[in-house]
Amino acid sequence: MNSIKKYLAYSKSVRVMAIDATEMVQEIRDLHNLSNLATAALGRVMIVSSMIASTLKSYEDRLTIQIKGDGPLGNIVVCANSALELKGYITNPEVELPLNNEGKLDVSKGIGLGTLTVIKDIGLKDPYVGTCELLTGEIGDDFAYYFNVSEQTPSVVSVGVLIGKDGNVQKAGGYIIQPLPDCEDKVIDKLESINIKLPSITELMSEGRTIDDIAINATGDEKIETVYSGEVKVKCDCSLERIENTIVALGKEEALKVLEETGKLELTCNFCNKKYDFLKEDIEKLFNK
């Protein structure tokens, strides 16, 4: 189970989200046959996306995160809804690079330089779109920077994926700490000094700590209150109707051209790899509707 929880600390002046996403990251790895590096990169984005999605308010709200980098991994796209169902993909899932100087997966080099975009469709005429440059490509730092510059919310973002020698995900999780507007400066200073010294989330999880323990460790508040407890899932919402809309957008002429060249029109969902096949009569029928 992928548990996600939200808390309030320091008399409701600090918001905290924390997640154990070990199963989710293993599932996305198996689904896309990801390299270790791609597992860490896409996994980290999915973990932070889960926590941001947990702040969506109504049922129809949607979140999309796009990372566009110039590194060998290519781009990452993750979508989530308020029911905490997530789907995600990475352009080049097979890319592996030498470990960095600290002996860790070099996600920063894999992603490269580029932009981070957060799109929240919350039922308004236009969705909310926030973009910033990638700071390091390590994902956690990039989201902390995003919250600071695009949402004016200084935040601590910790995210990690630990992969074992057998290639399986051993631990994956994250937390976000956000002081609310009435938070006292001394609390903010305390949060900063705790988090500079705290081991990584995967080290804390490997020591057997639960996300409740980690929320207490990371805030230094023993009296932290749990305000939400839920579960996240990998789930794609693609359908024949959606794929048909893509073909309609492509245009009849273009669709028939592809069909003539290859004998059939086959479209694959980037998120779940499900294949949708169309024959010439299907295309004719579609455009005669």
- How far apart are CB 42 and Zn ion at their closest, in Å? 15
What does the alpha-carbon distance between residue 203 and residue 81 come to, in Å, rounded to a whole number?
A: 29
Q: Which is nearer to Zn ion, 11 or 239 (CB)?
A: 239
Q: What is the DSSP letter of 60?
A: T
- Is 243 a binding residue for Zn ion by CB under 5 A? The answer is no
Q: Where are the beta strands (DSSP E) in 30-153?
A: 62-69, 76-81, 85-90, 114-121, 128-133
Asked whether the beta carbons of 52 and 5 are under 8 A apart, the reply is: no
Asked whether the beta carbons of 2 and 20 are under 8 A apart, the reply is: yes
- How far apart are CB 93 and Zn ion at their closest, in Å? 15
Crossing angle of helices 240-250 and 280-288, in 10° steps, is 80
> Taking CB under 5 A as the rule, which mask of x and - marks residues 140-169 in contact with Zn ion?
------------------------------
What does the alpha-carbon distance between residue 107 and residue 121 come to, in Å, rounded to a whole number?
A: 28
> Taking CB under 5 A as the rule, which mask of x and - marks residues 188-227 in contact with Zn ion?
----------------------------------------
At residue 116, φ and ψ (nearest 5 deg) are -120, 125
- Is 236 a binding residue for Zn ion by CB under 5 A? The answer is yes
Residues numbered 269 to 288 that lie near Zn ion (CB under 5 A) are: 269, 271-272, 274
Q: Segment near Zn ion (CB under 5 A), from 132-140, 176-184, 199-207, 264-272?
A: 264-272
- How far apart are CB 270 and Zn ion at their closest, in Å? 8
Binding site for Zn ion (CB under 5 A): 236, 238, 269, 271-272, 274
